[in-house]
């Protein structure tokens, strides 16, 4: 994905407006991974990984006439990979991920955000955003749309650091809905009409298990 200062500014102006408001406070559900998405494999492809573990909170804020139940919690952890340490010729690398931030959604709408610490996303390094869902995600009907929203927020955060999001990895069962939801932020499948005159770049959406892959271009003039 190509990034520069102008592109980051374009993202902030066109995408952030369509993300919706979030309450900001400064103060795992694991998915099954095959070998294609093991750390050993990913570390050869990316300098950093943002793992996003998604969980459904069915009992949180559950009271009569509650308008915020159930909630989906997106917990973001940051991990540098061996590729980053090799690139900088550093020794004794630590691969331990740490919690970066989390997002809260209801009915695919963002309602909360908490950042725990900043992360080192070096300029021009390439990373991946990896969404991991519970084994049983059958009741998480609006999560694909929330996933697209969360992915765009993380894409903006990486872009302002001039770091590169090379791939967004999502469960295969949600791939098509996430793909459709990306259109709300001005991303369209490569091969679609390029009639818009807005800023353009590309991002790759990958499914796990592996099997589906699609490239998208950004047309910021069409972001909702």
Tens-binned pLDDT, residue by residue, of the chain (224 aa): 444 444 444 444 344 444 554 443 433 334 444 577 776 778 778 989 999 999 887 666 666 876 777 888 999 999 988 766 665 555 545 567 899 999 999 888 999 999 999 888 888 889 999 999 887 766 666 788 999 999 999 999 999 999 999 999 999 999 999 999 999 999 988 864 454 444 457 889 999 988 999 999 887 666 56
pTM above 0.75, yes or no: yes
- Tokens standing for residue 210: 């592996």
Could you tell me which residues are beta bridge partners of residue 203? 216
């Amino acid at each position: 994905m190509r990034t520069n200062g102008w592109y980051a500014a374009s993202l902030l102006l066109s995408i952030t407006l369509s993300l919706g408001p979030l309450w900001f406070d400064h103060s795992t559900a694991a998915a099954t991974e095959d070998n294609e998405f093991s750390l050993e494999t990913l570390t050869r492809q990316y300098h950093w990984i943002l793992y996003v573990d998604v969980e459904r909170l069915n009992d949180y804020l559950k009271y009569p006439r509650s308008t915020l139940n159930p909630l989906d919690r997106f917990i973001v952890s940051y991990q540098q990979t061996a590729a980053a340490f090799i690139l900088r010729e550093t020794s004794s690398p630590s691969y331990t991920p740490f919690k970066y931030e989390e997002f809260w959604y209801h009915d695919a709408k963002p309602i909360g955000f908490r950042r725990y610490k900043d992360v080192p996303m070096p300029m021009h390094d390439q990373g991946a955003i990896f969404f991991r869902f519970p084994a049983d995600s059958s009741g998480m009907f609006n999560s694909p749309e929330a996933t697209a929203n969360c992915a765009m927020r993380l894409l903006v955060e990486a872009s302002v650091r001039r770091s590169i999001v090379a791939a967004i990895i999502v469960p295969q069962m949600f791939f098509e809905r996430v793909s459709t939801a990306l259109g709300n932020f001005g991303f369209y499948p490569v091969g679609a009409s390029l009639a818009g005159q807005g800023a353009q770049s590309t991002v790759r959406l990958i499914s796990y298990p592996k099997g589906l892959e699609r490239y998208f271009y950004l047309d910021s003039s069409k972001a909702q």
